[in-house]
Chains A and B, each alone.
Chain A
Amino acid sequence: NAGVTQTPKFRVLKTGQSMTLLCAQDMNHEYMYWYRQDPGMGLRLIHYSVGEGTTAKGEVPDGYNVSRLKKQNFLLGLESAAPSQTSVYFCASNDSRNQPQHFGDGTRLSIL
């Protein structure tokens, strides 16, 4: 039972490079979320999706784009990486707002 799978687990980028983080869930969940977690801070919502083909901005969306072309996948893109985007990124999903979120194991991203 995979649950929520994030790839890659680790990545080092140079400033200005682009990359895409993939989140896949096998629970047929409608809602999916991308968060970043920085030292001394909790989880801050970047973007989220309430269903296939939909996306919405969270608290800290600048510098990121997302797509939800398939229900099971939620992609987070960094078009031009900046050192301020060094963080641990978590993906999560749930079936409804009332249900708790299931989290992936995180992606540790360092931007030099």
Chain B
Amino acid sequence: ILNVEQSPQSLHVQEGDSTNFTCSFPSSNFYALHWYRWETAKSPEALFVMTLNGDEKKKGRISATLNTKEGYSYLYIKGSQPEDSATYLCAFILTNAGKSTFGDGTTLTVKP
């Protein structure tokens, strides 16, 4: 079983704060990493697909970086808003695997 770890498990910030969380994964046989946003009572929705070492992706106030050699990815949220409150999942895909392994997620709560 692959070990995909996300930290912290939960995070409470004030509106306007910037924040970041980490996804750690095995550094060998990397194929791709996906970030998802999962709002309460909804289903996960994809944020980013990351495939190359050094990748940086951005969508509005949210961005992500990837380091495949050391086995981690960071997700950053600049100027958090209450609507950013959600669980953020990362999913690691191995070379030659037909499936993703998900971390347990980081749950972000942004207080107005």
* CB pairs A–B below 8 angstroms (12 shown): A35-B102, A42-B105, A45-B99, A50-B98, A59-B1, A97-B31, A98-B32, A98-B49, A98-B51, A101-B34, A101-B46, A105-B42
**Residue B86 CB within 8 A of the other chain:** no
Considering only CB atoms, which chain B residue lies closest to A40 in the complex?
B104
Interface size for A (C-beta < 8 A) is 25
| Chain A residues packing against B (C-beta within 8 Å) | 31, 33, 35, 40-45, 48, 50, 56, 58-59, 90, 97-106
Contact partners of B102 in chain A: CB under 8 A: 35, 42-45
Asked if B43 and A90 sit within 8 Å, CB to CB, the answer is: yes
* Majority SS at the chain B contact face: strand
Given that A50-B98, A58-B99 are known contacts, is A98 also in contact with B43, CB under 8 Å in the complex? no
Interface size for B (C-beta < 8 A) is 25
* Majority SS at the chain A contact face: loop
Considering only CB atoms, which chain B residue lies closest to A43 in the complex?
B102
Smallest beta-carbon distance A96→chain B, Å: 10
| Chain B residues packing against A (C-beta within 8 Å) | 1, 6, 31-32, 34, 36, 42-46, 49, 51, 89, 91, 93, 97-105
Given that A41-B104, A42-B104 are known contacts, is A98 also in contact with B98, CB under 8 Å in the complex? no
Contact partners of A56 in chain B: CB under 8 A: 98-99
Asked if B46 and A100 sit within 8 Å, CB to CB, the answer is: yes
CA distance A59 to B104 in the complex (A): 14
CA distance A50 to B96 in the complex (A): 12
Given that A42-B105, A59-B1 are known contacts, is A101 also in contact with B100, CB under 8 Å in the complex? yes
CA distance A48 to B101 in the complex (A): 12
